[in-house]
Amino acid sequence: MDGLAHQVIAGIATGGIYASVALALVMIYQATHHVNFAQGEMATLSTFIAWSMVQAGMPYWVAFFGTVVVSFVIGVLVERILLRPVQNAPVLTHVGVFIGLLLIVGNLTGWVFGYTTKVFPTPFSSEKPIMGGLVSAHELGSTAVTLVVLTLVFLFFRYTSLGLAMRAAAYNPRSARLVGVRVGWMLALGWGLAAAIGAVAGMMVAPVVFLDPTMMLGILLYAFAGALLGGIDNPSGAVIGGFAVGVLENLAGAYVVGTELKLTVALAIIIGVLVVRPSGLFGRVVTSRV
Amino acid sequence: MLLEVKGLRAGYGQTHVLHGLDFVVEDGGVTALLGANGAGKTTTLRAICAMIRTEGEITLNGERIDGRATEDIVRRGLAHVPDGRGTFMELSVEENFRLGAYTRRDREVQADFERMFGMFPRLKQRWKQQAGTLSGGEQQMLAIARALLLRPKLLLLDEPSFGLAPLIVQEIFGIMRRIRDEGGVGILLVEQNANLALELADRAYLLETGRIVVSGPAAEIRQDESIRRSYLGY
């Protein structure tokens, strides 16, 4: 019984990471109707930036918040420089840009920081076992950080005027312009936020999976599965989907398919959702009259 | 002069819709833009707020606005209720209100909300409801409220009576009359229902295939049987 409980708790901890990345994906998808394939690679780069800051002797939390800010700026710049020129281009152009971004950011990270696996520190440690050793300090801490981030994002979009303007720009850019919202900048801010959320996810998962330039590859797949499961156009759905995928993946890995085949679970979920319920569990079914 | 348009040309892609319009909208009061389907009425409104490419001079309150981005024109005091109303269907009535006042930093926003409740009591009852679930008339009221919350100097209205039951149309026109009488905002009204529009308007322009063919005081145009017969069809 303890084994099962442990697997569920570990699943929730990694699920939080998937939920964060899924939220980052959905934020950009809602505004542009494109999935940013490079979201994971950008998060990896951010994590390496944090790693260098820690290596340079900065305290962990200074490096943490410094990385969040730097990642936000990188996200904004990527949108302004790379995406803005192609904003009205066909879907395949965007796919091309995203794949290019994925390759460039991934290889740049490897080139600058090397391909050897690195140990990334965790700020959470505990002398005594927590809940009888059922959960590690890092699992508890990273889940807490994830929940704080998700709550802040939710409050930002729900209650601030800027968050409302960003939602308006995503739902209906034409009408948003008519109330004076600068839609182009809202997109750039969305990219910045997504990059910042990804950075937190990267820093929280790196102590578990260890840091190397391909760290986020699998995680992006799980996150995508989570986003699809919850509904790619529904941020809260994507978050719930992310947590669900984390738990499912862990249980399936422990009791059904074994760790080797865990990633297959993500693919099975993706295909399953697309076949059975393409709009996801909480997604909007869009019907239109012709 | 609130709005001055000179030699306005616009279209979609290779298709030219407007072939050099000249007209003005005065401070306060209502100017009606009439014409048959496809005459270019909606295109004119879109051209004024830069939703499409244009040629020609457009001056709002003495300042050139042609060539500026839509959001910058809006911030200079122009509100547009487009065809399709420009409502955020996924958001609540409250959020649509807040977006209407998005550019404002003054302290009277809440007072203006109250003023809108006075004008549109039904919107207060629907406050937390998703805008997409409102009735057609309520959505039109929300669109007008949203536009007024910008505190515009000029309000563009694209067929506010479109698709609404006659009683609701009466109500909407009653509200527009009230806005006109309260003053402070000029209205450029595009309308299919020429009779109603001419009743409300001070001046009117008649558009035919992208050209202004008649202009003058609304009362005179209303009296003129030949204009009515040949252009307005009633």
Residue-wise DSSP of chain B: --EEEEEEEEEETTEEEEEEEEEEE-SSSEEEEEE-TTSSHHHHHHHHTTSS-EEEEEEETTEE-TTS-HHHHHHTTEEEE-TTTT--TTSBHHHHHHHHTTT--STTHHHHHHHHHHH-HHHHHTTTSBGGGS-HHHHHHHHHHHHHTT--SEEEEE-TTTT--HHHHHHHHHHHHHHHHH-S-EEEEE-S-HHHHHHH-SEEEEEETTEEEEEEEHHHHHH-HHHIIIII--
Count Cβ–Cβ pairs < 8 Å, chain A vs chain B: 60
Q: Is A178 on the interface with B (CB under 8 A)?
A: yes
Q: Give the separation between CA A123 and CA B164, rounded to whole angstroms.
A: 62
The answer to whether the Cα torsion of B59, B60, B63, B69 is positive or negative is negative
- Which residue in A164, A171, A178, A286 has the most chain B C-beta atoms within 10 A of its own C-beta, making it the best mutation to test that interface? A178
Whether residues A165 and B102 touch (CB distance < 8 A) is answered with yes
- Which residue in B46, B48, B71, B98 has the most chain A C-beta atoms within 10 A of its own C-beta, making it the best mutation to test that interface? B71
Whether residues B150 and A180 touch (CB distance < 8 A) is answered with yes
- In B, minimum Cα distance to A157 occurs at B95
Beta bridge partners of A33: none
Q: Average pLDDT in the A147-175 region?
A: 93
- Please report the pLDDT score of residue A2 as a whole number: 75
Q: Average pLDDT in the B197-218 region?
A: 91
* Range with the poorest average pLDDT among A142-151, A276-285, B215-224: A276-285
- Per-residue pLDDT band at A17 (split at 50, 70, 90): very high
- Please report the pLDDT score of residue B77 as a whole number: 93
Whether residues A180 and B90 touch (CB distance < 8 A) is answered with no
Q: Average pLDDT in the B5-30 region?
A: 91
Q: Give the separation between CA B81 and CA B12, rounded to whole angstroms.
A: 20
The 10s digit of each residue's pLDDT in B176-194 is 999 999 888 999 999 988 8
Q: Average pLDDT in the B6-26 region?
A: 91
Coil, strand or helix at A280: coil
Beta bridge partners of B30: B187
Which chain A residues are closer than 8 Å to B98 by Cβ? 161, 164
The percent of residues above 90 in pLDDT, for chain A, comes to: 69
pLDDT at position A286 over 70: no
- Please report the pLDDT score of residue A1 as a whole number: 64
Instruction: Domain ranges for chain B, please list them.
Output: 3-77+152-232, 89-151
Q: What is the mean pLDDT of chain A?
A: 90
Q: Write down the ipTM of this complex.
A: 0.91
The 10s digit of each residue's pLDDT in A168-212 is 999 899 999 999 999 999 999 999 999 999 999 999 999 999 999
- Which residue in B46, B70, B153 has the most chain A C-beta atoms within 10 A of its own C-beta, making it the best mutation to test that interface? B70
The 10s digit of each residue's pLDDT in B38-54 is 889 999 999 999 999 99
Q: Average pLDDT in the A48-52 region?
A: 97
Of the candidates A161, A164, A178, the beta carbon closest to that of B74 is on A178
**Beta-carbon count within 10 A of B153 CB:** 19
Q: Right CATH number for B3-77+152-232 from 3.40.50.300, 3.40.50.720, 3.30.450.20, 3.40.50.2300?
A: 3.40.50.300
- Please report the pLDDT score of residue A36 as a whole number: 92
pLDDT at position B169 over 80: yes
- Please report the pLDDT score of residue A285 as a whole number: 67
- Please report the pLDDT score of residue B211 as a whole number: 92
Which chain B residues are closer than 8 Å to A84 by Cβ? none
